Amino acid sequence: MPELPEVETVRRGLIPAMEGRRIARAEVRRPDLRWPLPERMAERLTGARVERLRRRSKYILVDLDTGETLIVHLGMSGRMLVSGAMLGQFHQDHPAPAKHDHVVLDMEGGARVTFNDARRFGMMDLAPTASAEAHPLLAGIGPEPLGNAFSEAYLASRLKDRNTPVKSALLDQKLVAGLGNIYVCEVLFRAGIDPRHQAGRIAPARAAALVPVIREVLGEAIEAGGSSLKDYRQADGELGYFQHAFRVYDREGAPCVTPGCTGTIRRVVQSGRSSFFCPICQR
């Protein structure tokens, strides 16, 4: 599933084609994705001007001049692809309609934004902009890890006395928004913390030190366009490249990249998810 860097990369890729432009025509080709799509969705989107594209956790929020916000989650395999517009130095022609193109937005100026989702685990909903972040899917989500509210003092206090493994704690969207399995594995490796370590037993100073590491990893991943392992693509259809910089994720049995370390990357399953770590570097 796309995590914060992938969703942020898609958001940034959509801005030139959507922000400040009207949706000349919206086409909804099926009644549902993971859940039913909003009633009269095509009618409500057609003619609306996109005021701003935001991101909250792993959701893209498209604020419209109609007073509504389109909330989008990519799910496991969802893609939002731009065609018919200048992307960098290249013009991307409209491709032939594909089987899993479920929602198509033709923008004024000729760009087209297509939501393609082979597995249909994605979702779209429309909510009043003024209360969009109170939507059931967004309410209760923790602070953004790249924002000021996510501070060293905040994280240290929230991890204190938690009986769950630190890996599970950092995946809790109520604690911090947008972190997923890939980036938590990479963060804990750089911080030298075993993912199985009980969160509440981590010293406050060590817990606080996770904040700059989280920001560093996310920043590098966004700069690389995210990580493409299976379905993820950027808005222009290109792959992300951060997977080439993985230090532990999906490297089971490979030697640790830390100079002088003789360890081998291990994999354990925690709450149904694979955790990758170096048993020597991470304590």
Determine if the pTM surpasses 0.95: no
Domains 4-134 and 152-246 share a fold: no
- How far is residue 146's CA from residue 68's CA, in Å, rounded to a whole number? 26
pLDDT digits (tens, 9 = 90+) for 218-236: 999 999 999 977 778 888 8
Annotated catalytic, 3?
yes
d(CA 26, CA 104): 6
| pLDDT over 90 at 93, yes or no | no
30 catalytic per annotation? no
Q: Which of 2, 145, 165, 195 is catalytic?
A: 2
Take residue 234 and report the two structure tokens written for it: 């950027």
Q: Which of 126-130, 184-188, 220-224, 234-238 has the lowest mean pLDDT?
A: 234-238
Query: pLDDT tens digit string along 78-89?
Result: 999 999 865 554
Set 34, 44, 52, 273: catalytic member: 273
What's the whole-number average pLDDT of the chain?
A: 94
What's the first-to-final CA gap in the chain, in angstroms? 28
Domain 152-246 of CATH type 3.10.580.10:
no
Class for domain 4-134, per CATH? alpha beta
Q: Which of 3, 6, 68, 186 is catalytic?
A: 3
105, amino acid identity: L
- Is 99 among the residues known to form the active site? no
Which one of 58, 79, 112, 158 is the catalytic residue?
Answer: 58
Is 68 known to be catalytic?
no
Sequence ranges of the domains in the chain: 4-134, 152-246
